Amino acid sequence: MAKLSSNAIEELKVATRGQVLLPADAGFDEARHIWNAMIDRCPAMIVRCAGVADVRRAVAFARDNDLLLAVRGGAHNIAGSAVCDDGLVIDLSPMKSVRIDPLARRAYVEPGATLADFDHEAQAFGLATPLGINSTTGVSGLTLGGGFGWLSRKYGMTVDNLVSADVVTADGERVRAAADAHEDLFWAIRGGGGNFGVVTMFEFGLHPVGPEVYGGLVVLPLEQAKEALRKYRAATADMPDELSVWAVLRLAPPLPFLPPEVHGKPIIAFASCYVGAVADGPGALEVVRRFGTPYGEHLGPMPYAMWQQAFDPLLTPGARNYWKSHNLAELPDGLVDVLIDAIGKLPSPQCEIFFGLIGGQTASVPVEATAYPSRNTKYVMNVHGRWSDAREDERCVGWARDFFEAAAPFALGSVYVNFLTQDESERIGAAYGPNYDRLVAVKTRYDPHNLFRHNQNIKPSAS
C-alpha cells in the first residue's frame, strides 16, 4: 500500500460529507465486518459515502494514491469482495434511498438499499421487481451479478428489469448507462459485476405483485426425496410462470408447523410462491402437495414482503459460509443419487443444498442481450456450507467441494457469478461464456488500469 500523508487523509475528510474511518476510529471494526464470518480483512480506510460526490472523491483518492479499492453495498457477497486488506473501502450502505413512481412503474434505488428496503417502498403501491430470496441482501450486488428470485419465472432476471443506472467510472466521472446512453456499459453492468464502476443509482421497471401472494412450505422426510424430485422435475414442464417452486435439502429447522420430533431430521422441503390471483393459489400448488406424504406443510395467502423475509432466520450474519454452485438444465437420477448421499453426510445442522427453479421468462432473453449469459439454466444449484466454529472449516468446506465434484458430470458447466467464492477465480470464464470477450472490451474501455479489481475480476486487455 502506498504511504498516505496525514495531510492527504485530512483533505479527504474535509471534502467528504459522510465519514472517513481509520483503524483507530470508533466504529471502524463494526464497519469492516461483513455477512460471511470467514472473511476478516482490515482496510486502511473506509469511506462511508453520503452521496455521489463522496463516491467520486473516494474513487479519485484510491486511484491517485494507488490504493486497492473495494466497494461495499449490502456486504452479502459470499466471496467477501466488499472489504479488502490495506486498501480503501467505498461503503455505500448509508445511501439507502428508494423512490417509487407508481404511475410510471419505476423504482429509483440507491446502492446501499437492501431487498427489504426496496420491497417496503414498492409494496406500498402493490409493485415489485424480481430480486433475491433474503431480505438483507443488497440490491446493488444482486443486480450487478444478474439477480433472480421468486418473480423471475414471470418477469425475468433482475437485470432484465434494469432500465438505467448512474455509474461513477474509474476516471471519476458520473455517466448514465441505458439503452440509449453508454450502451456498452449498460450491457456490461447487467451481469458483469462491479468491474466497470460504482453504480450510484439504479432505475428499475416494476410489475403489479401482491401485496398478497400464495405460497409456503411442504416438508417431506428425506426417504421420500428421490420420488419427490422425480415428480418435481416432471411437474415443472407444466408449471405456469406465476409459480416458482424451489427444493431445499437439509436438517429440519424448528418450524412451528413441524412436530418437535421432526426437528433436526433430514428433510426435503419445497418452497413455493404463486404470484397470480391469490384465489388460484391452492389449485396451482396442489401439484406440490402431491410430491409425497409430508411431515408438515404451511401454505396460504401471505404478504409478499413477508415471504421475502421467510428465510432470513437461516441466513443471519456472523456464521461461516462456503458455497459451491452449478447451473443445471435438468435433475437426472444420477444427480439425485449423489445429492441424497451428500445430505446423509451433512457436517453441520446449518448446511443445505438447494435448487432454485428459474426458466420461464429468464430463458426468453437472447444470450447476447445482457452480460448475464446463462439463459439455458433451469435450476441454479447452490451447495451452502454454513457453520459457526472455525475449527470445522476443513470438514465443512470439504463436504461442499466433494458434492460439487460429484455433481459436476450432470451440470451445464456454467455458473452464477454471485455464487462464486473467493477461491474460484478460474471459473470466471464459465460465468460469462460467449459474452466474456465483449466484457473484456468494455472493461478495457472504462477501466483500462483495473482499478475495480476486488471482485470476480474481468481483466482489461494489456495496453
Are 203 and 217 within one domain? no
* Per-residue pLDDT, 3: 77
Are 205 and 220 within one domain? no
* Per-residue pLDDT, 146: 98
* Per-residue pLDDT, 2: 56
Is 438 a domain residue? no
153, 185, 209 - which closes a domain: 209
* Per-residue pLDDT, 163: 98
Are 77 and 105 within one domain? no
User: Could you read off the pLDDT of 45-86 as tens digits, one per residue?
Assistant: 999 999 999 999 999 999 999 999 999 999 999 999 999 999
DSSP assignment string, 283-327: HHHHHHHTTS--SEEEEEEEEHHHHHTTTGGGS-TTSEEEEEEEE
Average pLDDT over residues 246-263: 97
Is 3 a domain residue? no
Is 431 a domain residue? no
Are 154 and 170 within one domain? yes
Contacts of 406 (CB under 8 A, 6+ apart): 338, 341, 342
179, 209, 239 - which closes a domain: 209
Residue 149 in this model has a pLDDT that exceeds 70: yes
Is 463 a domain residue? no
Is 154 a domain residue? yes
User: Could you read off the pLDDT of 353-396 as tens digits, one per residue?
Assistant: 999 999 999 999 999 999 999 999 999 999 999 999 999 999 99
Contact between 221 and 295 under an 8 Å Cβ cutoff? The reply is: yes
**Residue 448 burial (CB count, 10 A):** 14
Is 453 a domain residue? no
Are 330 and 218 within one domain? yes
**DSSP symbol at 447:** -
pTM attached to this predicted model: 0.96
CATH number of 47's domain? 3.30.43.10
Is 462 a domain residue? no
CA 262/CA 297 separation, integer angstroms: 13
Contact between 137 and 258 under an 8 Å Cβ cutoff? The reply is: no
Are 252 and 310 within one domain? yes
Are 40 and 154 within one domain? no
Residue 36 is part of which domain span?
A: 10-91
Are 257 and 240 within one domain? yes
Cis peptide before 294 (omega within 30 of 0): no
Is 452 a domain residue? no
Q: What's the length of the chain?
A: 463
Are 229 and 324 within one domain? yes
Contact between 249 and 266 under an 8 Å Cβ cutoff? The reply is: yes
> pLDDT class for 121, splitting at 50, 70, 90?
very high
Domain count of the fold of the chain: 3
42, 76, 91 - which closes a domain: 91
Are 176 and 323 within one domain? no
